[in-house]
């Protein structure tokens, strides 16, 4: 598993994806009011952040093969 990719890119996008939930149910986890809140609460921004988080989550896992691959026989 690629933990660095998941921690440094995936977790921030998970926060951005869940920002509308934090804004309405846990205001202590949100940023101070301003124009940035309007952008973070928009539906399109939340969708893009969710897609990026899903891609990072899926690509951070990889399968380790038990048998080595031999190329060129």
Q: Residue 18's pLDDT is what?
A: 95
Give residue 26's domain range. 3-59
pTM tops 0.75: yes
Residue 67 binned pLDDT confidence (cut-offs 50, 70, 90) = confident
Question: Is residue 68 in a domain?
Answer: no
Token pair recorded at residue 21: 């939930």
Question: Is residue 21 in a domain?
Answer: yes
DSSP letters for 3-69: HHHIIIIIHHHHHHHTHHHHHHH-GGGSPPSSHHHHHHTSHHHHHHHHHHHHHHHHHT--PPPSS--
pLDDT digits (tens, 9 = 90+) for 8-58: 999 999 999 999 999 999 999 998 888 899 999 999 999 999 999 999 999
Question: Is residue 47 in a domain?
Answer: yes
Question: Is residue 34 in a domain?
Answer: yes
| Structural domains in the chain (count) | 1
Question: Is residue 71 in a domain?
Answer: no
């Amino acid at each position: 598993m690629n933990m660095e990719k998941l921690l440094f890119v995936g977790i921030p996008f998970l926060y951005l994806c869940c920002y509308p939930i934090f804004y309405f149910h846990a205001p202590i986890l949100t940023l101070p009011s301003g124009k940035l809140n309007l952008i973070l609460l928009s539906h399109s921004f939340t969708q893009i952040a969710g897609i990026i988080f899903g891609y990072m989550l899926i690509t951070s896992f990889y399968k380790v093969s038990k048998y080595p691959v031999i190329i060129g026989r």
